[in-house]
């Protein structure tokens, strides 16, 4: 709702008289809201946005254009603009008063531009689409993306925005290596496990990180180290010499947070994962 003001003046014989100031309010015909179905993002997950447009007027609003800047922001140099979200082709869905309509035309991907939207008088339209964080998406504990949508083509244009933050959850991967790969019966082998954390926070007890492996053939374990520190059976892990099941005790496996850097020239973000290494050595039973 916008407020406007007006004042008249009267000039006579070199004198000027001002009237009282009047004010009025304009009730906007269109209103819009924008919501993401998830409040956080990662480097691998998509984000679905829901745009709701309400027409409170008595006239249909037709041929509207919706534009989404997809979180565009300017680098510290003050001139280079990058876009952290990429529209996922073919994901637009369009509803009028709850009834799905043929998909409107996407005329540009950056900024995302959707045309041919109509909202009936005293009615509503909902547009749903998906975007994917790309190499320009800010990373780290305090990172966020705010993108703004603008709807134009009726009596008034309206904007709405939504902010999502980078996930603070740990994001773990694990890889396994064997040395040597060819071994004699009753020979000694070493398994090395690299656990990487691509998230912005280190793991702790609340994350319930448990490492499990079933060694086949069964190992007669002679040494276990985690980040170079020896582990003790019972305190740090359990091992069944009959079944070959090795399980870490909750809290034994910890993985540091990743570090994130942005190239000041290109705006591209890079991730250096936090890494922990578990080494298990033994002879084949």
pLDDT digit string, tens, across residues 218-252: 999 999 999 999 999 999 999 999 999 999 999 99
Average pLDDT over residues 34-43: 96
Average pLDDT for the chain: 94
Confirm if 197 and 274 have CB atoms less than 8 A apart: yes
Confirm if 195 and 276 have CB atoms less than 8 A apart: yes
CA torsion, points 193, 194, 199, 205, in degrees to nearest 10? 40
Please say if the pLDDT value at position 18 is more than 90: no
Indicate the helix (H) or strand (E) that contains 166: strand 158-166
Residue ranges of domains in the chain: 29-166, 172-284
Indicate the helix (H) or strand (E) that contains 130: strand 123-133
Residue of 160, 96, 151 whose CA lies nearest to 126: 96
pLDDT in tens, 269-279: 999 999 999 99
**In this structure, what are the phi and psi dihedrals at residue 207, rounded to the nearest 5 degrees?**
-85, -10
56 — alpha (psi -120 to 50), left (phi > 0) or beta?
alpha
Average pLDDT over residues 80-86: 97
Distances (CA, A) of 181 to 188, 193, 240: 11, 15, 23
Average pLDDT over residues 6-26: 81
Domain 172-284 class? Answer: mainly beta
Residues 6+ apart with CB under 8 A from 86: 70, 109, 110, 131, 132, 133, 134
Say which residue, 21 or 188, is predicted with more confidence: 188
Residue of 143, 122, 124, 133 whose CA lies nearest to 51: 124
Q: How confident is the model at residue 165 (pLDDT cuts 50, 70, 90)?
A: very high
Please say if the pLDDT value at position 155 is more than 90: no
pLDDT in tens, 87-129: 999 999 999 999 999 999 999 999 999 999 999 999 999 999 9
Average pLDDT over residues 139-156: 93
Please say if the pLDDT value at position 26 is more than 80: no
Q: How confident is the model at residue 9 (pLDDT cuts 50, 70, 90)?
A: confident
pLDDT score for 8 = 86
Three-state SS at 90: coil
Confirm if 137 and 85 have CB atoms less than 8 A apart: yes
Confirm if 136 and 269 have CB atoms less than 8 A apart: yes
Please say if the pLDDT value at position 27 is more than 70: no
Query: Which overall architecture, per CATH, does domain 29-166 show?
Result: Sandwich (2.60)
Rounded to two decimals, the pTM is 0.81
> What whole-number percentage of the chain has pLDDT above 90?
82
Residue of 144, 178, 195 whose CA lies nearest to 39: 144
Maximum alpha-carbon separation in the chain = 117
pLDDT score for 152 = 95
Residues in the chain: 285
């Amino acid at each position: 709702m916008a407020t406007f003001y007006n004042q008249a003046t009267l000039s006579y014989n070199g004198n000027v008289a001002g009237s009282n100031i009047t004010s009025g309010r304009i009730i906007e015909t269109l209103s819009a809201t924008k919501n993401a179905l998830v409040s956080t993002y990662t480097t691998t997950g998509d984000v679905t946005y829901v745009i709701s447009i309400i027409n409170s007027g008595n006239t249909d609003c037709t041929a509207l254009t919706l534009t989404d800047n997809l979180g565009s922001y300017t680098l510290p140099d003050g001139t280079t603009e990058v876009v952290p979200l990429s529209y996922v082709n073919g994901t637009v869905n369009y509803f009028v008063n709850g009834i799905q309509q043929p998909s409107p035309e996407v005329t540009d991907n950056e900024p995302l531009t959707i045309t041919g939207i109509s909202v009936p008088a005293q009615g509503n339209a909902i547009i749903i689409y998906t975007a994917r964080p790309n190499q320009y998406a800010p990373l780290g504990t305090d990172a966020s993306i705010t993108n703004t949508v603008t709807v134009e083509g009726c009596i008034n244009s309206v904007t709405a925005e939504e902010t999502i933050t980078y996930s603070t959850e740990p994001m773990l991967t694990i890889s396994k290596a064997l040395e040597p790969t060819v071994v004699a019966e009753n020979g000694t082998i070493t398994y090395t496990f690299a656990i990487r954390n691509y998230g912005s926070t280190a793991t702790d007890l609340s994350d319930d990180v448990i490492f499990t492996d079933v060694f086949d053939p069964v190992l007669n374990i002679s040494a276990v180290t985690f980040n170079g520190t020896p582990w003790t059976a019972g305190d740090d892990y359990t091992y069944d010499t009959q079944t070959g099941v090795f399980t870490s005790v909750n809290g034994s496996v910890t993985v540091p947070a990743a570090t994130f850097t942005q190239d000041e020239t290109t705006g591209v973000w890079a991730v250096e994962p936090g890494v922990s290494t578990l080494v298990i050595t033994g002879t084949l039973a």
